[in-house]
Structures are given as structure tokens and as C-alpha cells.
A and B are shown apart, each in its own frame.
Chain A
Amino acid sequence: MSEETKLFKVTIDNITVEVPPGTTILEAARKIGGDVAPPAMCFYSKLEGSGGKCRTCLVEVAQGSEKDPRPMPKLMASCRTTVMDGMVVKNITSERVIEARNGVVEILLINHPLDCPICDQAGECDLQDLSYGHGTEGTRFEFPKRVFEKEDIGPLIQLHMTRCILCYRCTYVADQLTDKRVHGILDRGERAEISTYISKAIDNDFSGNMIDVCPVGALTDKTFRFKNRVWFTKPVDAHRDCDKCCGKVVLWNRGDEVMRVTTRDDEWGEVQSFVDEKTGEKKPGWICNTCRFEKKKVADWVIEGETNIKRHSVIAQNKYQKLVVPKDTITEVMDGRPPKLLMDIHDESDVNDPAIDLSLINGPATSKTFNNTSKDKKETTKKITEQE
């Protein structure tokens, strides 16, 4: 963009920001960041045409522009409304917006199964976050919820339509990333469902990306399903040479095992863009199915380091940025030596001392078995053996 382009001044929740013309209110608010950025369930900036559907990002436009200061009568979907110079927007400072947003969340949840305890998405689910922020304790919906059969769309992805909030993101992935679109929306109204036509397998190289864009647990990775909770896995950035995609991914590890592979997401839960080395273009870092589903060994990847997650969800309480240093008392107990892992404490109590060969003990081990200090533990084992 040339330097001469006039920037538009937008004031969102009393914070003014300058953005180029054509920017949406949502993107301007994301520039400010924090609570000012409205939540977005259906908008995905890397997918053309997405947004406007979930209505969680509604904002109040208190002043249309500098030239035409009239307020907009209706709440506007910030993801699809472009800014005007001198626009004044109210997001969290407007009671009307908060009320409408609470209403949308309630309405999104009436047919959602709320099966977070058995859902793979739990912990990194946009709807879960939104419900914590705006939901109510109970529901006023007293009718049976809408239920669909689970559907296998291909050997790698499972569609659980009951959880779907019809954000349409996956259909845009199908439209824009893959050659032949084989899935979309069937039926209409509250019976509308994502489906292949009809129950066909989705089989193309980039179909796995629809798992990442799904804001809820409707599309899940069958190679990861029920294997682990996301908060028990540790995300690390990694890359490999891939002829189909950028090859830049996040590995979610449990110990040395790669539990799953996903795209690298930014703080808004969207895939990051990378500069393509060949063309010099900046492109979203979608990854191919080979990288996602087949390369499940650490040896397949070049590890770059831990992933910094700055998001607000359960997995992101900064626990991966660095290990939380235990309190000093533990160090005291350990003669001033800081523990590396919680296992270290057990070391102190001898519970995990490999020197004590439990298989040699007659009968169950008791506290007496471990009652000695670590200095003479070898002798303890000896004694026990000798007694026998």
C-alpha cells in the first residue's frame, strides 16, 4: 500500500486507531486488541466471504463517519462492516451490545449438546470461551435438543453435526483450498446441516484444514480422537520440507509422542501467514493432509521450540510459555536444589528410587520400606535381601 493512502480514524470503545480504508471494524478492533476485539465464531480473515453469520461480533455504531455522523440504527456485524473515517464504535462499552451478545450465546447454546467433558475440542473451543464470558448458568430451553448421527467424512475426519453451530467456515475451506468441493449445507433453517453430497468421503490434500477452522468440536481429527485432552499435550513449533504445503506446523506432544499436528495459529485462533520463499508472497500457512495425519513421529520434524500461546482458553493459561517455578518451600526441603519436575520430590521421599527393587520385597511395600534417607538406601535394599 502506498504511503499516500489516507488512513481512517476509528474510535472503538474510546480508543482511537488508524487503519487503511476497507478494513473491517473487527480487524480495527483486533489492532487495539484485548477486550475491545469482539468475539468471532464464524469470521475467519483468511477465508474470503466468511463472517456475518453467527452475530456474536455485533457492535453499535454510534457515529457513522465524520461526514455523516448519524448513528446506525441496528447493531452491525463488525466482521463485515468496513470502517469510515471518523467512525465511533461501541463494543464492550455498550449495554445494548452486551445484551445482544448474551442473547446470541444463549441461542447458540440451545441446541448445542454441551458435551465438553467428552469433546476433543474442549480446552481450545471458541464456543466454550464465549459461553464462559457471556453465557448464563442454566438454560431456559425446555425442549429436546437437535441431534444428528455422527458421520465419517473420509477416513481421517469425523463430523459430529450435533455440535455444529453452522459457521460455514469449513465450506469456505472446501471452496477456497481444495479443488473439488464435495460438502456444503443441506436443508435449511434449524434442520440445516453440513454434509457431503450424500455421505461421500472428503478426499483431497487440504481437507484437514477444516478441522482447524472449526470453532467447535464438530469436525475432529480421527487420528487424535479421544487420545488425549489438549491441555495435557505440549505444543511445539516444528517444520519439515513439504512439496505440497508450507510445512510449518505445531506438534502437540505427550512426552516423545506426537499426538496431533495442526496449523500454526495466531492469537485470534486463525492460521498464521508465512512468506512463500519461491514467490515472495505472504500466504496463509495451511498444511496438507500428509503433514497433518501421516507425519506423527518427532523424527519427521525439525523442532523449533515451544509454541507461545497467548489465547484466553483453558490450554492457554501461559502454562506452556515457561514452566511455573514451584514455591521456595520445595527448594528448601530439597536442600536448596530447585526441582526440575514434580518427580524430584518423589526422589526425595524415595518412592521412585530405582535402587529399591520392589520385586525383591516379600509382600506389599509399606512406608517402612522407604523410611530411610537417600544416603543409605542401597544398604536398605541389601538389608532387605539379606533378611530373606
Chain B
Amino acid sequence: MAKKLLLEKAHIENIRLYDVYRREGGYRSVEKALKKMTPDEVTEEVKKSGLRGRGGAGFPTGLKWSFLAKPEGVPRYLVVNADESEPGTFKDRYLMEFIPHLLIEGMICSSFALGANRSYIYIRGEYAWIVDILEQAITEAKNNGWLGKNILGSGYDLEIFVHPGAGAYICGEETALLESLEGKRGNPRIKPPFPAVKGLWDCPTVVNNVETIAAVVPIVNDSGDAYAKIGIGKSTGTKLISACGNINKPGVFEIDMTISVEEFIYSDEYCGGIANGRKLKACIPGGSSVPILPANLLLKTAKGEQRMMTYESLSDGGFQTGSMMGSGGFIVLDDRQCVVRHTYTLARFYRHESCGQCSPCREGTGWMERILLNIENGKGKMKDIDLLWDIQGKIEGNTICPLGDAAAWPVAAAIRHFRDEFEWHVTNPEDCLKRNYGLANYADALPA
């Protein structure tokens, strides 16, 4: 049984309520941080832990915190990004829904480390009921003296606010999130300046994912070194993976980053194998934005090594033969699934969610979606596949925010690894309408 840090107590009855949470050892980290540590010591522990951002990019959290500008007389802010809208990712929802006090606790420690007296949780609008859960947790914490003025007599003040978004994926991008939080249209800002210098209301701001902030609790409790011992290499600690697709046990799993992808898919502790006795065809290991991998490249890297559930191993081989850890949305496709249809679905999503600010993304996503729909419906031409490849190359890297990249990568990877499936759609226009699935040549003979 792998070590659990975040979800260990998530299933205790009524852990959502303050009394139960406190009885189970909750808010110990706040006591420790505020009474025995200085803000810099907390930051130092986070640095030592090697904790990496859990929102997708995997940037070291301690380093991010140390970049925060600290001019005199200017307030600083911590903003928790709970705008979890990536298709396939639902880990933060699980955490906030079952154990909301863990997030509040992590926020108090983090805000203390950053010197923020006001912190925000920007939560996606579709999680309306979680807003209530969080607000109840905040009220409880406040009533018990963990929030407000002069917490635990340390002289440190903190208020936490929950701000629901209005259902835009783009507001998960940190600068668009800040714009939205300021009450403006959620358009990403042009960086630099980065939020660490000019963020919310032009003040230094740190934007972190829910899971990242929650992970600060065990780091403060057990020290950064203890946290760093879990995992392999630079992938330290535990990671929440939300697994979905054609697997026997979809759900949120906490893994310490030492297991292999194969174990994750096939062991009964996690996904429990492919559903209905089908074969594994492909998988998106980190949420819809990251490149899709065919089964053979998913389980073994191009070098023939076993692929592990770590940041490094998943991105081994670059985009040619690898993918990314991303936000941990693990989407599994069995051999009945059609990659073209799947790519079309993603393209439609990105077309719908593009903010329309910069031209390559605004126009390019719509163009890709239309071509993919044509191919999917058997109306495609061979040159369309090359055109798709060309368009994604024109979007990637040329946009203000990473949404352009996120829209381009899935299309690029699908063509890179499953080009014959696209060609099959072009050459068999009638069949692809009838059967709606692809060639299914990619499933390897693997342990059932």
C-alpha cells in the first residue's frame, strides 16, 4: 500500500466538519508554523521538499514562492487556482469536496510563508456546491480562531475568500484568473510582468493549484526532507491522479511517484485494468492538453525502459515519444475508441474555450475543429491531414497563453502516432461513419 498524505483521512465520516477534522490531527501544521517557525523557514521547508506545482506545468513551488517580490507597504496575495476545467481532471474537486479543511489549513501556512493577509480561492463556477462546502469550512475555521485577526496570538492576520468563476476554461490560466478575480473579462495578460511581481491589483501574487497548497500541510508537519524522501528523483511526494476512460475503477487515486504506468493501469489498487476485457490502445496521461501516447510508448519509453508515473519519466523522449504529467487527468482509451473522433472532441472543446484575444488561437482552433469534423465524417482529404499538422505548428508557441499550445499538442500527437487512422478515415469514408472507431492496431499483448 502506497503512502498517502492528502487523502489518508478523506474518507473518515464527517471529516468535512471542523470538529472531526481537528480531532484527526487537523490544523497541527498551522500551530507549528505560526508558533515555532518564521515565514522564511516555511518557505525553506517547501523548497527542501522539492514540491512541484500540481496544476500542470510542474514548476518547483518553493522557487516560485522565492520569486515573489516583497516591496514595503504593498500587500501580497495568495490565490488558489481551483478552476479545474481540464477535461479528464477532477482531483481538486475530490479534495475540496471531501476534505476542505486541508485546503484551508494549507492556505494558512502558505499565506503565512508569503506574508499574504488576504487569500482567494478562485473556483470554477460549475463547482457551485463546493463553494458552499468551502465557505462553511472557512466560517468554521474563523469561529475557531484559525482565521481573522491575530491568529493564535502570533500577530498574523488572514482572511480567505471564495470567488466562483463563470465557467470559462481560460480562467484557469493564472493571469486570466487574476483578471477575472478583478472583475474583468478573463483574458490572459501578456507576460512579463509575471504575477510574482504584478499580479492581483498590480500587487505581487502567487497563484498555486489546490493540490499544491494542500501538500504544504504534510510538508510543514513532517518537514520538507521527509516529503522529499517519497518519490523518485525530482518527482517528490504524492500526486493525485484522476483516472477515467475505459478502466474498471475510474476515480481519484493518490500515488507516491514510485510506481510504473503499467502498475497504475493494471493493479487492482488503482485503475484495475481495462474495462470489459478490452486491450489498451492509447492514453492521455496528464489531462486533455498533453500529447496522447499509444500503448507501446505509454508503458515503455523509446529507450525500452519501463515508464514510471513521474514527471521525468512521463516526459521522457520529449513530444516525439513522450508526453507530460500535466495536471494528472489520466484518460485511458481501449481498442474500440477512435482517435480521430477523440481528437475532434478535444478540438471542439478548445475552439469553444479560446478567449479570442490573440489571432492564432482564435481562428486556428476553429479551423482545426472543422477539418477534424470533416475527416471524422468521412469527408476529409489526404491533404487535410498535412494541413492540420501545418495549422497546429502555426498555433503552438505563437500565442499569449498556453491555451494555444494545449489546443495544438493533442492534434499534433494524434497525427504523429495515429496517422494511419486518419488516413483510414479518408480512404474509407463509408466505414468510418458506420463503425465510428479506428484501426485498433495499437493494443499490445499485455498482462490482463
B394 & A104 in contact (Cβ 8 Å cutoff) = yes
With A104-B359, A166-B356 as given contacts, are A75 and B367 in contact (CB-CB < 8 Å)?
Answer: no
Bound state CA distance, A267 and B351, in angstroms? Answer: 37
Which of the candidate stretches A49-57, A278-286, A301-309 sits at the interface with the other chain?
Answer: A49-57
Q: Which of A103, A166, A189 contacts B365 (CB 8 A)?
A: A189
Q: Which of B168, B366, B367, B398 contacts A100 (CB 8 A)?
A: B398
Asked if B387 is at the interface (CB within 8 A of a chain A CB), the reply is yes
Asked if A369 is at the interface (CB within 8 A of a chain B CB), the reply is no
Which B residues are in CB contact (< 8 Å) with A103?
A: 360, 393-394, 398
Interface members, chain B 386-407 (any A CB < 8 Å): 387, 391, 393-394, 397-400
Asked if B354 is at the interface (CB within 8 A of a chain A CB), the reply is yes
Bound state CA distance, A55 and B353, in angstroms? Answer: 19
Scoring B residues 342 to 365 as 1 if CB is less than 8 Å from chain A, else 0, what string do you get? 000000000111111111101111
Interface members, chain A 95-125 (any B CB < 8 Å): 100, 103-104, 106-108, 110-111
Q: Which of A54, A80, A187 contacts B356 (CB 8 A)?
A: A187
Measured CB to CB, the closest approach of chain B to A127, in angstroms, equals 11
A75 & B398 in contact (Cβ 8 Å cutoff) = yes
Question: Whose C-beta in chain B lies nearest to the C-beta of A189?
Answer: B354
Measured CB to CB, the closest approach of chain A to B427, in angstroms, equals 19
With A80-B190, A103-B394, A141-B367 as given contacts, are A189 and B359 in contact (CB-CB < 8 Å)?
Answer: no
Asked if A322 is at the interface (CB within 8 A of a chain B CB), the reply is no
Asked if B370 is at the interface (CB within 8 A of a chain A CB), the reply is yes
Which B residues are in CB contact (< 8 Å) with A188?
A: 168, 170, 353-356
With A100-B398, A103-B398, A166-B362 as given contacts, are A53 and B357 in contact (CB-CB < 8 Å)?
Answer: yes
Asked if A191 is at the interface (CB within 8 A of a chain B CB), the reply is yes
Measured CB to CB, the closest approach of chain B to A186, in angstroms, equals 10
A108 & B363 in contact (Cβ 8 Å cutoff) = yes
B364 & A107 in contact (Cβ 8 Å cutoff) = yes
Which B residues are in CB contact (< 8 Å) with A187?
A: 356
Q: Which of B352, B370, B394, B397 contacts A107 (CB 8 A)?
A: B394
Asked if B185 is at the interface (CB within 8 A of a chain A CB), the reply is yes
B352 & A189 in contact (Cβ 8 Å cutoff) = yes
Measured CB to CB, the closest approach of chain A to B190, in angstroms, equals 4
Which A residues are in CB contact (< 8 Å) with B370?
A: 143
Measured CB to CB, the closest approach of chain A to B57, in angstroms, equals 14
Bound state CA distance, A264 and B202, in angstroms? Answer: 34
Q: Which of B168, B362, B387 contacts A192 (CB 8 A)?
A: B362
B394 & A100 in contact (Cβ 8 Å cutoff) = yes
Scoring B residues 319 to 352 as 1 if CB is less than 8 Å from chain A, else 0, what string do you get? 0000000000000000000000000000000011
Which B residues are in CB contact (< 8 Å) with A238?
A: none
B399 & A107 in contact (Cβ 8 Å cutoff) = no
Scoring A residues 71 to 87 as 1 if CB is less than 8 Å from chain B, else 0, what string do you get? 00011010010000000
B190 & A166 in contact (Cβ 8 Å cutoff) = no
Bound state CA distance, A58 and B397, in angstroms? Answer: 11
Which A residues are in CB contact (< 8 Å) with B366?
A: 189-190
Interface members, chain A 157-212 (any B CB < 8 Å): 165-166, 168, 184-185, 187-192
Scoring B residues 181 to 192 as 1 if CB is less than 8 Å from chain A, else 0, what string do you get? 000010000100
Bound state CA distance, A141 and B366, in angstroms? Answer: 11
Which B residues are in CB contact (< 8 Å) with A51?
A: 190
B367 & A107 in contact (Cβ 8 Å cutoff) = yes
A-B pairs with beta carbons under 8 Å apart, 12 shown: A53-B357, A54-B358, A54-B359, A55-B360, A77-B400, A80-B190, A104-B398, A108-B359, A140-B387, A168-B357, A185-B356, A188-B354
Per CB-CB distance, the 8 closest pairs between chain A and chain B, nearest first, are A192-B356, A103-B394, A189-B354, A52-B190, A190-B366, A107-B363, A189-B356, A80-B190
Known: A191-B356, A192-B356. 10 other contacts (CB 8 A): A53-B357, A53-B358, A53-B400, A77-B400, A104-B360, A108-B363, A189-B365, A189-B366, A190-B351, A190-B365
